[in-house]
Amino acid sequence: MRVVLQRVKSASVAVEGEVIGRIGRGFLILLGVSQEDTEAAADKMADKICKLRIFEDENGKTNLSLADVGGELLIVSQFTLYADCKKGNRPSFVKAGSPDKANELYEYFQTRCRAYVPKVEHGSFGAHMQVELLNDGPFTIVLEGDEHGIKGV
């Protein structure tokens, strides 16, 4: 699993001009699923993200989690996170999970996040979407994980 996480003051996702997901303060999550990903990998990623302490406390230290600040999540599927650009100028996406598997894990990941965060919004899997955000910081983290753990990239 690959994630681009952005701390936001607000974010929204629209399909065909209609907003289908909107959050206030929290994280915009762009989620990529690979062929090898499992529910165990999704569990670890959800746990890591929802417990990350990257909101500032009263002393200006990044010491607070989503729960500490009443934060929200907007999760958008992003198979292009598995683009391979090593050969030529046209990306290959063979490392991305099949649409059925990726959608299943995308839905599962959302469910896991709801165990931590009351408001979890999402995009529409496979749709052409427009994402708007007001990045806070900016603060962006790239995470990669499998059933064994999570690392920053």
Please identify every residue annotated as catalytic. Answer: 78-80
The set of residues, in sequence order, having a beta carbon less than 8 Å from that of 75 and lying 6+ positions away, is: 29, 31, 106, 109, 110, 113, 120, 121, 122, 123
> Are 14 and 76 in contact, with CB atoms under 8 Å apart?
no
What is the spatial distance between Cα 7 and Cα 17, in angstroms, rounded to a whole number? 24
Three-state DSSP state, 127: coil
How would you write 82-110 as a 3-class SS string?
A: HCECCCCCCCECCCECCHHHHHHHHHHHH
